[in-house]
A and B are shown apart, each in its own frame.
Chain A
Amino acid sequence: AQSVTQLGSHVSVSEGALVLLRCNYSSSVPPYLFWYVQYPNQGLQLLLKYTSAATLVKGINGFEAEFKKSETSFHLTKPSAHMSDAAEYFCAVSLSGSARQLTFGSGTQLTVLP
C-alpha cells in the first residue's frame, strides 16, 4: 500500500524567501516520487520526479527536492520565491512507477507575498 501526506494545505512566503513544501510518503519499498504544480485555471504539470537515480532532484523553475529514505520524505524547496511561483503543488507517489498507480497528496497552496 502507498500513501502520501502533504503537511500544510496553505503556505505563505515573502518574495525572495525560501520555499519549503513538505511531503511524506508511506510505502513498503522505495517508491517513485513526483511533484506537480497547478497554476490557476490550468492542468497540472510536472516539476520534478525521483526515480532512484539521485537523491537530490532538480526540476524546472529553480525547484529541487531531496529524497530521504530514513525520514520517508520528499520535500520541495526553492531558495528564493518569485511572485510567479504562486500555485498549488501536489506530491505524488507510485510504487511501480506506473502512472495508473499514482497516488496524489491533497495539495499545498503557495502564496507569495510582495
Chain B
Amino acid sequence: NAGVTQTPKFRVLKTGQSMTLLCAQDMNHEYMYWYRQDPGMGLRLIHYSVGEGTTAKGEVPDGYNVSRLKKQNFLLGLESAAPSQTSVYFCASTGQGAGANVLTFGAGSRLTVL
C-alpha cells in the first residue's frame, strides 16, 4: 500500500549543480503534481501532468523541468540549482471520478542548495 513515493528524501546541492527528484505512484492515477513548500507560504504548484507524455506549468515553474514518460512516474529536474530553490518538495496525484479533487501526497523531499 505504498501510495506516492518520493526519492530522495534529503539532498544537499551546491549552486549550479543539477539533480532529479523522482515521484512514483501505484494507484493508477492520471494526474500528478509537483509542489514546493516554503515557511509561511503554504504549497505552490510547480508543474503538473494530466497524463502520460503531457506536462504543464503551474504557479512557479521557472528553474524547473518535468517529464512524465510513464504513467506511474513524474520527474522533477533542476538544471542549475540556486539557493532560492532550497525548499521541501512534494509530489501528489489524483485519480478520476469522485476522488478527482483529492490529492494524495508523498512524504516530501527536502532540498538544500548552498
Which residues of A are in contact with B by a Cβ distance under 8 Å?
9, 32, 34, 36, 41-46, 49, 51, 90, 94, 97-100, 102, 104-107
Contact in complex: A45, B105 (CB < 8 Å): yes
User: In terms of DSSP, what is the predominant structure of the interface of chain B?
Assistant: strand
Contact of A100 among B40, B42, B45, B108 (CB under 8 A): B45
| B72 in contact (CB, < 8 A) | no
Does the CB pair B41–A49 fall under 8 Å? no
Total inter-chain residue pairs, C-beta < 8 Å: 61
Render B82-112 as a binary contact track against A, CB cut-off 8 A, 1 for contact: 0000000010101000001111011110000
The reply to whether B40 and A9 form a contact with Cβ atoms under 8 Å apart is yes
> Which B residues touch A104, using CB under 8 A?
42-44
Can you report 8 A-B residue pairs in the complex whose CB atoms are below 8 A from each other?
A49-B101, A90-B43, A99-B33, A99-B92, A99-B102, A102-B45, A105-B42, A106-B42
